[in-house]
Structures are given as structure tokens and as C-alpha cells.
Amino acid sequence: MTTQQFCDTIVSFAGGGNMATALIQGLIRSGFQGGNIRLFEPDASRAQALHQQFGIVTAPSNTATLNGSRVLVLAVKPGIIGAVLREVAPHLSRDTLVISIAAGITLASLTNVLPPRQPVIRAMPNTPALIQAGVTVLCPGDHVNEEQRLLGETLLKTVGDVRTVSDESVMDAVTALSGSGPAYVYLILEALSDGGVACGLPRDMATWLALHTVQGAARLVQETGQHPGVLKNQVTSPGGTTIAALKVLEEAGMRGTLMRAVEAAWRRSRELSGPSSGH
């Protein structure tokens, strides 16, 4: 698929929340014209704001977005995805690629409501997509052909890095680690800033130091390819300040607490297993 062919694709969105906004922004930055992006968002003020910001076409219903659409992105909460699927199913073209970014909703749950052999991709992006720094893992269903898989990957790459998996069983773990993960990092950043303030730093300096320390540490892992434990040891001098701090963190069970937090999110994602769920 050429860049021009991609940008000429008509993409519809069911839902206009943060992730839909991120994807719309990514498409526009990639060269899409607003007229090729259609949206139904029940909050009229939000729909109008997105229209004014990006020049997209807003519609009075989900079904009204579908005529000629090559991709439908389901960007709604898991609790209402069943109703949206039942609404759009009778109006979908057989060749329309459906991409769901709803946490926990399985491919089987989607295909059970959609027409037979409808091409479906399950994907899990995260909120740094809002600044094109997201990470997305996608899993194609059985009826997605190679061209449609590439289309889905290309669309999601407009907001960050993408990996494709064939084993859907990993998707709940992806949701728990990267989908929910930004919240864990924000909590850590806030705590580090509070610690700096407790030691006498002004709040703006404490937050600046926390932010750039986390950002720089993550970048060092990425660019050196070294294990985080190796880099941690390089910072830790015998009898120094870092080992004193690490001893407190280990005694408090920080490592185990973070692992249990990811596991809790993983279990919750598995509970959100079908579009009829009211969670």
C-alpha cells in the first residue's frame, strides 16, 4: 500500500474519546484529509470540537459513518461495545476491517456478533498515543488478509510503535502492562516529586527532576539494550545513597507490589471478556 492509497482510505470511528482523538490526530499528521475520517460521538459538544480541530465528518449515528468506509475503529468502552456491534453489524460491508481497541473484548466475542467472516483486529494502544509516543499490540482474527493486516498496522503506527501477535492469549497481559501502565508511571512520578518536596525542593523543581530522571533512565535502557538490573547496579555504589534508598524500597515490597498490580489488571482484563459485559 502506497502512502497515497493509505491516505485515501475512509476510516470511521465509533466513539470520540482520548484514544479516538489520538488516532484521528495521527491520521491527519500522516496526510489524511479530514473528509476521509468519519465519527459518531454521542456527546455533541465533543463531536463538534473534534470537527473544528481536525475537519473530520461527524455523523448522527454509527451506521451513518459506514457508507464506503474501509475501516471501522471501535473506540468505545467495553460495557457498551455489544450495543454498538449490534447496531453496525447489519450495515457493514463484507470487506470493512473492524478494529477494536476495547480492553478485554476477545476476538470471539466480536465475531459472534458481527457478520460471518468479517475481518476483525483486536488492538491495545495506550494513552501516550496522544503525543505519537504510544505502543500498540494487535492481534488479527482468522479472516484478516495480509493487505488488511498491513492496513491495521499502518493506521496504528501513526501514533507510535506497533507489534503484531498471533496468540490472542497475550492480549490481557498487554492490557495490564502497557494499556494500564502509564497510570503506574504517573503514580511513581508523583511520589518521587513528593519525596523531593519532603526533602526541601520546590515543587516545580522536584517534578522536573522526577520527570527527566524517569525519562532519561527509560531512554538509557532503550538505547544501550542493557538489562535494567545491570544499569541499576551501575548507579549503586557500596555504602552510598542509592543502596540506602533501594534497601527501603525492597523492604517495602515495591518490586512485588508492582508485579501484583500488573497481575490485578490482567485478571480484570480477563473478566471483561465479552461485549455484553456490564463492567
Taking only the tens place, the pLDDT of each residue in 175-220 is 999 999 999 999 999 999 999 999 999 999 999 999 999 999 999 9
Provide DSSP, 144-180: --HHHHHHHHHHHHTTEEEEE-S-GGGHHHHIIIIIS
Taking only the tens place, the pLDDT of each residue in 41-51 is 999 999 999 99
Residue appearing with cell numbers 503525543: 131
Q: What mean pLDDT comes out for the span 248-271?
A: 95
Q: Which helix (H) or strand (E) segment is 239 a member of?
A: none
pLDDT bin (cut points 50, 70, 90) of residue 273 is: low
**Predicted structure pTM score:** 0.88
Task: Give CA–CA dist 121/152, Å, rounded.
Answer: 8
The DSSP letter of residue 116 is T
Q: How many CB atoms sit inside 10 A of residue 214's CB? A: 14
**What pLDDT, on the 0 to 100 scale, is given for residue 12?**
96
Residue appearing with cell numbers 459538544: 45
**Could you give all domains of the chain from N- to C-terminal order, each with its CATH number?**
3-167 (3.40.50.720), 181-270 (1.10.3730.10)
CA separation, residue 34 to residues 53, 55, 147, 235 (Å):
10, 5, 23, 49
